[in-house]
Structure 1
Amino acid sequence: MLTGIIVEDAALQRRVLDKMLRQLGFETVLAANLHEARELCVAALPNMALVDWNLPDGSGGSTP
């Protein structure tokens, strides 16, 4: 099964995206900021990422 990480600081948006990806057959991992996302990526090794552009601890466009 494919795994996707959703990095979104707005809880409602995170839940909506989570539901959408799960309906498409993805397992999902959720993070509210880049720090959480980096830690979860090491553990989960997701196949894809949906990352908010404006996050409290940086820009989604600058993530490695």
Structure 2
Amino acid sequence: MVVSVSVVLLLLVLTALMMRNKSLKPSHAVTCVLLGFCLASSSLAPTIQSTMNSTASLVSTIRP
């Protein structure tokens, strides 16, 4: 658990730095994908999933 949290935090920091530079190269995309896989297997996955579901349902109720 400690190792996976460390990896998630490292990838999160790297992704944030890449987004701040406003340049997305193939290596950056791979880092973002790895971050997604690590987050999906972490203990934060249910929270992220419920947040995404709530946001999607909120957006779907908005009518133009």
Whether TM exceeds 0.5 here: the answer is no
Structure with bigger strand share is 1
TM-score by length of 2: 0.30
Kindly indicate whether structure 1 or structure 2 has the higher relative contact order, using CA contacts under 8 Å at least 6 residues apart.
1
Query: Whose radius of gyration is greater, 1 or 2?
Result: 2
Structure with bigger helix share is 2
